[in-house]
């Protein structure tokens, strides 16, 4: 059975993917290592510098995560647009991953409401193109996922998690982990769509917490689960009202 799975996995790989795997095992001489690593370091530094320069004065923003595959007729697309517009009306800017689907809906809601619309786009094998609702001066395109994630958490005062795939889960759990470990402040995290999120939350509570004891019970207080768009906005706004803080945007 193991041999059969191994053969199946090998057949599923494209020639380009096989070449990348073989390249990872290829021995490199010292000059090649220095050249490759130095180039990567300069590229990484360049992406950080570009991101910091463009976002340093952006003001209070909320990041909205979600699938690139969600079409405009999907209820979560429409909810995202509504949430983004409502947050703008409360004085927040919106940060998205810059692509289509939920990301487009986030920028669209912000744009139509007259707010700041930020897009942190990423270069992918299938060439994710940025959506048209991002402010031209607030579009940044990254090659490295980890640099892009730093920008999300560094310049956001709240996080909205809409339904999505592996990328969305990665971004949400990144934010939860950084808050849990006190690497960033305890900013509000709101997961929208009870039907979508219920399964993974059940697994976290019943397996990760109760059986394996890999998280604490109070870790589940780090995020909120809602179905109503306005409730998502209210959670973020109420959080800052407790500290007598409010966004101060000038559009």
Look at residue 23 in the predicted model and tell me its pLDDT. Answer: 66
- Tokens representing 25 are 């095992």
Look at residue 22 in the predicted model and tell me its pLDDT. Answer: 67
- Tokens representing 214 are 């890999």
Q: How far apart are CA 16 and CA 169, in angstroms?
A: 27
Strand locations in 55-186, DSSP E? 61-65, 93-96, 117-122, 139-142, 159-161
Q: What domains can be seen in the chain, in order of their start residue?
A: 2-45 (no CATH), 60-241 (3.40.50.450)
Look at residue 24 in the predicted model and tell me its pLDDT. Answer: 61
**Cα(first)–Cα(last) distance of the chain, in Å?**
62
Mean pLDDT by 10 residues, the chain (251 residues): 50 74 64 71 94 93 97 98 97 96 98 97 80 96 95 95 97 96 94 98 98 97 97 94 61 33
Look at residue 26 in the predicted model and tell me its pLDDT. Answer: 65
Look at residue 74 in the predicted model and tell me its pLDDT. Answer: 98
Q: The tokens 């070449």 sit on which residue?
A: 19
Q: The tokens 């007598």 sit on which residue?
A: 244
């Amino acid at each position: 059975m193991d041999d059969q799975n191994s053969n199946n996995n090998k057949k599923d790989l494209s020639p380009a993917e096989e070449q990348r795997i073989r390249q990872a095992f290829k021995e490199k001489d010292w000059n090649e290592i220095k050249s490759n690593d130095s180039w990567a370091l300069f590229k990484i530094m360049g992406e950080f510098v570009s991101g910091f320069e463009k976002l340093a004065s952006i003001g209070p923003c909320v990041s909205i995560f979600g699938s690139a595959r969600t079409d405009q007729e999907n209820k979560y697309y429409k909810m995202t647009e509504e949430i983004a517009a409502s947050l703008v009306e409360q004085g927040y800017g919106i940060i998205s991953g810059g692509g289509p689907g939920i990301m487009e809906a986030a920028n669209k809601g912000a744009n139509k409401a007259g707010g700041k619309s930020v897009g942190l786009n990423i270069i992918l094998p299938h060439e994710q193109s940025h959506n048209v609702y991002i402010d031209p001066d607030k579009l940044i395109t990254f090659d490295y996922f980890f640099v892009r994630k730093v920008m999300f958490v560094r310049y956001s005062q709240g996080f909205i998690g809409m339904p999505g795939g592996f990328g969305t889960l990665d971004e949400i759990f990144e934010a939860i982990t950084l808050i849990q470990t006190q690497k960033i402040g305890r900013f509000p995290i709101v997961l929208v769509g009870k039907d979508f999120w219920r399964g993974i939350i059940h697994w976290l509570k019943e397996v990760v917490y109760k059986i394996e004891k890999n998280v604490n019970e109070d870790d589940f207080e780090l995020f909120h689960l809602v179905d109503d768009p306005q409730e998502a906005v209210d959670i973020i706004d109420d959080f800052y009202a407790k500290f007598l803080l409010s966004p101060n945007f000038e559009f």
